[in-house]
Structure 1
Amino acid sequence: MVSARGPRWQQFLQELVMVAGTSASAYFLIRYLISRLDFDPESQKKEEQRRKSAAILRRLDGGEESDEDSPRKEGKRGRGQKRGDLVLNQYEQAIAMDVVAPDDIPVSFEDIGGLDEIIEELKESIIYPLTMPHLYASTSSLLTAPSGVLLYGPPGCGKTMLAKALAHESGACFINLHISTLTEKWYGDSNKLVNAVFSLARKLQPSIVFIDEIDAVLGTRRSGEHEASGMVKAEFMTHWDGLTSANSSGEPQRVVVMGATNRIQDIDEAILRRMPKKFPVVLPPPQQRRRILSLILKDTKVDRENFDLDSIINRTEAMSGSDIKELCRDAAMAPVRELIREKKAAGLQMTSVDPKEVRGLRTEDFFSRPGGVRSIPSSAQLRPPVKTSSEKEWSTESDAISEVDTRPSAEMAEPPE
């Protein structure tokens, strides 16, 4: 009995060990296969957003460590937590992809021709209250940055360029919000993204949220509008000027929403109410066109004897800054095209063309060629150019390098510094 009972227990133990080993092997195999399966099709996209958003926030921290002489760094000193250490959810990570570091924008207020009054108002009412709140709040609780700023006017007059310069000069966290960022296929995700815009802006404050073509996102609400669009606008206004517009201590959030549009009549009235600062960016007047031309042509070779700056200023009365830039770009091709045709007519190869042989820019290059940008006729073309005593001699950088011209150049006028 004992001898028969012994092999039976041994057989039972062997079977138990085999079952346990098989079960453990199957468990780890199934666990491994499940871990390899991707149940979330957007997991790679979310992981990429996480890495890129973290890199952008670290870039903001790196920008604060240099150039401490800049006034925009003054308001950031003493910040305890680094921006790269912030914990963001998936929606805030998606919005962080639109964050732009101020040092990455190569546009400053000096690169804008004219608009001096608007630039000074932006500095005094937005940049200084955002970056130096202690200076303003110590005098009155009313001395804070406005909740919203609107730039409106015809296309090509410099609205977006003003926003770029503001982002560079202010040093505040600049969120260049794109319409595609707020557009999601899942119902309700767009509202969560709007919530993430303001939650991220509060974490990174002082912040400026810029929306180009704001009329496309926050247009007038209508009865036949899609439900999702109306909810996005309601969510935007709730966070913009609602119960969450101040922190726990009652201090107003240092977040400014800036919009640009050329269709101000299509923006909802409730949105316009939240933008108390409205700046019309209109077509440039003569003095501003002079400044624009001087900035565009500062490194261009000019034929002084055949170049009349006042004539160009008068004939571009109804043109925007963008039109003037395209006009100058198209005119600058004329001397190069002329030299190429001369070399081809002489039977020379293009490799033998010397850039120094390109002649200077002339007035006729702007308006005499077919296919170029045409100026809109105006009454100013019928009047002779009138020069004031404050206008000085105008020159480009190429003229400063070349030999001194002793001949009179009264036709050229220098814009004010």
Structure 2
Amino acid sequence: MPEDSTRTFLILTLLRVSIFSLAGLITFKLLMKHLDPTNKRKANAAKTATELLDRLGLKVGKELSEYELMIASHLVDPSSIPVTWSSIGGLGSVIQEIQETVILPIKRRELFSNSQLTQPPKGVLLHGPPGCGKTMIAKATAREAGCNFINLDLSILTDKWYGESQKLAAAVFSLAEKIQPCIIFIDEIDSFLRSRNVQDHEATAMMKAQFMTLWDGINTDSNTTVIVMGATNRPHDLDKAILRRMPATFHIPLPTLSQRVDILKLVMSGEPLADNVDLYRIASQTDSFSGADLKELCRNASLYRVRDYVAATQS
């Protein structure tokens, strides 16, 4: 009898300890969840990501971690991208080269399966002056190649909690591999992956190093179709290790005279245009204008037309 009583007492004691431990663990998790300032952001990102994944028909929602869901909230449906090659004026030679070196190996993999040298590049750099169409080219490339498109917001990778930035950087590549073919687009890439120096913050240096290590990881698997595409107007600020990982480099210069004529024709297509408007003359007087500058010029001219009409009707 004493032995039975002792055994019962021990079992009840262990049961009480287990219940209290479980209750304490649940309370601790709830408390940490309540105190986590990023919890609401993570919940909103997870909701957005789930909706995007369902819309894209990607059945990976349950397989994704909370960090991958945060990155997935920046996914763009390639079919919904409103930019095509016909939307870009004056860059025919660059577009043709991108079609041949980037898009063709993705869309026709069977033609290149027996060679390691003809696989699509794992890194593409678009560089040139602002307003010359670098971002438009990246979007059109994703649309034409039929790739899932992660428009990576660099602010999402910076987290004040130690280790969180590294987890988010890892999630970028793990998500891209799960939803491949995929293009990871980083606009103003020089602000993130500029040349390293001793003045870099420890967390920033670690994140850069991990990003490059993970990038090398996708290079080792020839069957992985994940491309990191960056755009910058300061290519010389980029780390040399980053430039090595971006073998496909395309310079997007300021448009020439004939290219400015093409851009003006594209911008003014569908717009009411007087018979005496000479686009060639406008193009010849806008040397050093970018494509964005030309579009803004046309927008201002259109606004002046409306303003003059309103002023005439009110007088």
TM-score, normalised to structure 1, is: 0.66
- What is the aligned counterpart of 2:33 among 10, 22, 40? 40
In percent, how many aligned pairs have the same letter? 45
Aligned to 1:53: 49
Q: Secondary structure at the match of 1:236?
A: helix
Structure 1 residues 154 and 60: CA distance shift in structure 2, 3 A: same
Distance in structure 2 (CA, Å) of the matches to 1:83 and 1:235: 28
- What is the aligned counterpart of 1:278 among 235, 249, 259? 249
Count of residue pairs the alignment pairs up: 291
Distance in structure 1 (CA, Å) of the matches to 2:49 and 2:192: 24
Q: Which amino acid aligns with 1:108?
A: T
Aligned to 2:80: 104
Aligned to 1:389: none
Distance in structure 2 (CA, Å) of the matches to 1:295 and 1:88: 42
Aligned to 2:195: 220
Aligned to 2:159: 184
Tell whether the 8 Å contact from 2:151 to 2:184 is kept in structure 1 after alignment. yes
Structure 1 residues 34 and 238: CA distance shift in structure 2, 3 A: closer
Q: Which amino acid aligns with 2:201?
A: H
Higher-Rg member (1/2): 1
Tell whether the 8 Å contact from 1:146 to 1:256 is kept in structure 2 after alignment. yes
* Structure 2 residue 131 is matched with structure 1 residue 135: no
Aligned to 1:338: 308
Aligned to 2:140: 165
Q: Highest relative contact order (Cα 8 Å, sep 6+), 1 or 2?
A: 2
CA shift at 1:246, angstroms?
Answer: 3.5
CA shift at 1:252, angstroms?
Answer: 4.1
Structure 1 residues 195 and 333: CA distance shift in structure 2, 3 A: same
CA offsets 1:357-391 (integer angstroms, 9 cap, x no match): xxxxxxxxxxxxxxxxxxxxxxxxxxxxxxxxxxx
CA shift at 1:335, angstroms?
Answer: 1.8
Tell whether the 8 Å contact from 1:245 to 1:252 is kept in structure 2 after alignment. no
Structure 1 residues 86 and 203: CA distance shift in structure 2, 3 A: farther
* Structure 2 residue 182 is matched with structure 1 residue 207: yes
Tell whether the 8 Å contact from 1:131 to 1:206 is kept in structure 2 after alignment. no
Aligned to 1:287: 258
Q: Which amino acid aligns with 2:168?
A: L
Structure 1 residues 317 and 277: CA distance shift in structure 2, 3 A: same
Structure 2: gaps of 5 or more residues: 1-15
CA shift at 1:57, angstroms?
Answer: 1.1
Higher percent of residues as helix: 2
Structure 1: gaps of 5 or more residues: 1-22, 62-81, 346-417
Distance in structure 1 (CA, Å) of the matches to 2:175 and 2:33: 25
CA shift at 1:35, angstroms?
Answer: 11
CA shift at 1:36, angstroms?
Answer: 11
CA shift at 1:141, angstroms?
Answer: 2.3
TM-score, normalised to structure 2, is: 0.87
Distance in structure 2 (CA, Å) of the matches to 1:98 and 1:282: 29
